[in-house]
Structure formats: structure tokens, C-alpha cells
């Protein structure tokens, strides 16, 4: 039965379909002040008596219309490998930017890159020289967050501190079904330039199953549909910034640390981003260690079914070793 939006019980900040499976993680929610914004931050760390040796720290950058609590399964898995993690609701997203600030990603596409630097200063020991460090520093990003991570690794203030990076279906170019006609794109850029904070509302699905282009998990489909923190409420400026970052990754000169280890996970059934564009970017990279692996899942790989996530987790475990 299709339930109308008026009949559906909208929810705010409700538990996600994934619940922690053991008592090892210590989850801490706090705020980080940066650029006159209080960023909502979630960390997942070990207990003091933990038998798991600390191997590294990870900063996670979520996707468009996502928020921190959607990544608990990934954070718990990383901790089981010895990696503590931090994720933050990005500028314009989640609990960091509610109400009128929803979708406001700053004056330029560089702003969110600087936000990442602030998180690195908070979570990584940036004053320790690389040769004296006993753990690795790592970045993970999905979709919009994947584009931010790839941009950061090219131009971010602390890009040379990063040992490993993992991106899932990075938004470099929209899927051809979502790519606007050249005239529509011109109008969009015009509005984005002159009215960056004008809100853009995409077509809202009538039923949660219409979100199956994002994940094949019915539980996560329903969550994305009913959770208000996941509702589409972006601005023309935010969408323009995402497209600018992707365009630069395909055309501008790349200045990656050649010692960086990079893993790109790309869905075989992605209807959100162009898999061809992601692979084209990957081929431009001159890195000693890089991997491009296709996954039989939908776009949001980190909130896919347990079977698909288990496949991804094995790939990540091998990569981090």
C-alpha cells in the first residue's frame, strides 16, 4: 500500500536500522565550533581496558542528505580493526544546520574543504612528525562526502598527513539520467551564482520503496523516507559546489601525495553518480597504491544489506592491512 506524505508518521532523530552489536565502542557526541558554526560531531573510540591495539584514526565524510548516526555500523566495524573514528554532520546538513541553515554550504566550494581541516586538527595529532607517528591517519567519504575527500587530498591544508583514503561512489559527475540539459544547466548556474541560498526541492518520493536506487535494504529505504534529517532540502549553492568539485577532479591538475593509498568502491548499479566518470578520474591518478573495485550494490554502499556490507568490510580490512 502506498502511504501519502500526509498519512505518514515523520520522524526526527530516531534510531537507525543498525544497532551496535557489542559494548566495545564508546560513542561520544559533542560540538566543535568553527567559522561561527557549531558542528555536530560523533566519535567512536575504544575503552581504556580494550584489548584491541590502536592502529589508526579515521574521519568520515557523509553524503548528501545524510547525517552522522547513519554510519554507526561502519564505525563499529572500523573499531574492531583498531581504528577510532570521527564523523560530523557537515555544514548545511543534519543537526549542524537545521531550519534556515539547511543546505547552506558556504560562499564557495572551498568552505567544506576548510571544515575538514578543522576536524583533522581536532582528531589527528598534526604536530607529530610522520616518522614519529605510531598510527595512521585516514579519510573515508561517500558520494558528496567522497567528492570532498578527493578534493581535500588534492588541495587540503593537511593532505600530506593522510596515509589511506576510502571513497564510496564519489560524486564526480551525476548519472546521465540526472544530468541536466545544457540550457537547464545554464539556468541552474545563474540561480546558484545570484541566489546561492535559494532552496532546491527535488521530487519527493511517494513511498519509501522508490528510494531503492540508493539501497536495496527495505529497512534503510523506510528510514531514509521517514527521517526528517534525510529529507532533500539543499540549496542551489550547495548543488553547484558539488558539481564544481567534480568538474575540477576531472579536468584540473592533480597534486596527490604519491605515497597515499586510495581505495575507490563503486556500485555496479549506481543511478546517482556516473561510474564512468569515477573510473576516468581513477585512471588520472598517479599513486603507488590505488584500487578500484566494483560492488554489486546500489549507490549508498555503507547502508546496504548486511550481505553487501560484509563484502565491503572484507575489502576494507584487506586494504587497511
55, part of any domain: yes
DSSP H helices, the chain, are: 72-80, 111-123, 144-155, 182-194, 218-226, 236-251, 275-284, 306-320
Q: How confident is the model at residue 7 (pLDDT cuts 50, 70, 90)?
A: very low
Q: How confident is the model at residue 202 (pLDDT cuts 50, 70, 90)?
A: low
Query: Which domain does 128 fall in, by range?
Result: 26-320
Taking only the tens place, the pLDDT of each residue in 129-186 is 878 899 999 999 999 999 999 999 999 999 999 999 999 999 999 998 877 666 666 6
210, part of any domain: yes
293, part of any domain: yes
Q: How confident is the model at residue 201 (pLDDT cuts 50, 70, 90)?
A: low
Instruction: Please provide the DSSP assignment of 136-193 as one string.
Output: EEEEEEETHHHHHHHHHHHH-TTGGG--EEEEES--SSB-TTTPPPHHHHHHHHHHHH
Percent of the chain clearing pLDDT 70 (strictly above): 92
Taking only the tens place, the pLDDT of each residue in 66-102 is 999 999 999 999 999 999 999 999 999 999 998 888 8
Query: Is the per-residue pLDDT at 206 higher than 70?
Result: yes
Name the DSSP class of 9: -
Confidence (pLDDT) at 5: 44
Taking only the tens place, the pLDDT of each residue in 270-284 is 999 999 999 999 999
8, part of any domain: no
228, part of any domain: yes
- Give the C-alpha separation, 81 to 154, whole Å: 27
260, part of any domain: yes
Q: Which residue has the higher pLDDT, 156 or 11?
A: 156
14, part of any domain: no
**Are the C-beta atoms of residues 218 and 121 closer than 8 Å to each other?**
no
Query: Is the per-residue pLDDT at 1 higher than 50?
Result: no
Confidence (pLDDT) at 235: 86
Q: How confident is the model at residue 236 (pLDDT cuts 50, 70, 90)?
A: confident
CATH number for the domain that contains residue 193: 3.40.50.1820
Confidence (pLDDT) at 34: 97
Q: Which residue has the higher pLDDT, 6 or 153?
A: 153
How many domains, in total, are found in the chain?
Answer: 1
89, part of any domain: yes
Q: How confident is the model at residue 213 (pLDDT cuts 50, 70, 90)?
A: very high
Amino acid at each position: 500500500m502506498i502511504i501519502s506524505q500526509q498519512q505518514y508518521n515523520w520522524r526526527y532523530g530516531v534510531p537507525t536500522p543498525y544497532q551496535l552489536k557489542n559494548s566495545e565502542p564508546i560513542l561520544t557526541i559533542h560540538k566543535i565550533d568553527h567559522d561561527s558554526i557549531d558542528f555536530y560531531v560523533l566519535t567512536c573510540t575504544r575503552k581504556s581496558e580494550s584489548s584491541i591495539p590502536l592502529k589508526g584514526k579515521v574521519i568520515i565524510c557523509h553524503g548528501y542528505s545524510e547525517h552522522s548516526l547513519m554510519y554507526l555500523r561502519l564505525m563499529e566495524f572500523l573499531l574492531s580493526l583498531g581504528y577510532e573514528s570521527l564523523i560530523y554532520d557537515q555544514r548545511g546538513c543534519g543537526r549542524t544546520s537545521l531550519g534556515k541553515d539547511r543546505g547552506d554550504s558556504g560562499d564557495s566550494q572551498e568552505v567544506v574543504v576548510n571544515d575538514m581541516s578543522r576536524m583533522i586538527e581536532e582528531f589527528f595529532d598534526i604536530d607529530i612528525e610522520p616518522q614519529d607517528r605510531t598510527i595512521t591517519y585516514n579519510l573515508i567519504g561517500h558520494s558528496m562526502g567522497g567528492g570532498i575527500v578527493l578534493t581535500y587530498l588534492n588541495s587540503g591544508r593537511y593532505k600530506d598527513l593522510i596515509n589511506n583514503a576510502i571513497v564510496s561512489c564519489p560524486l564526480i559527475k551525476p548519472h546521465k539520467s540526472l544530468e541536466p540539459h545544457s540550457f537547464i544547466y545554464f539556468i541552474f548556474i545563474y540561480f546558484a551564482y545570484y541566489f546561492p541560498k535559494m532552496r532546491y526541492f527535488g521530487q519527493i518520493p511517494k513511498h519509501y520503496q522508490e528510494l531503492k536506487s540508493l539501497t536495496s535494504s527495505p529497512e534503510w529505504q523506510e528510514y531514509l523516507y521517514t527521517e526528517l534529517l534525510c529529507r532533500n532540502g539543499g540549496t542551489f549553492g550547495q548543488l553547484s559546489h558539488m558539481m564544481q568539485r567534480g568538474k575540477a577532479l576531472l579536468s584540473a591538475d592533480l597534486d596527490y601525495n604519491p605515497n597515499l593509498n586510495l581505495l575507490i568502491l563503486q556500485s555496479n548499479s549506481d543511478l546517482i553518480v556516473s561510474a564512468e566518470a569515477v573510473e576516468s578520474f581513477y585512471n588520472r591518478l598517479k599513486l603507488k597504491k590505488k584500487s578500484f573495485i566494483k560492488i554489486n550494490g546500489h549507490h549508498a554502499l555503507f547502508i546496504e544489506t548486511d550481505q553487501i556490507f560484509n563484502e565491503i568490510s572484507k575489502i576494507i580490512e584487506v586494504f587497511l592491512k
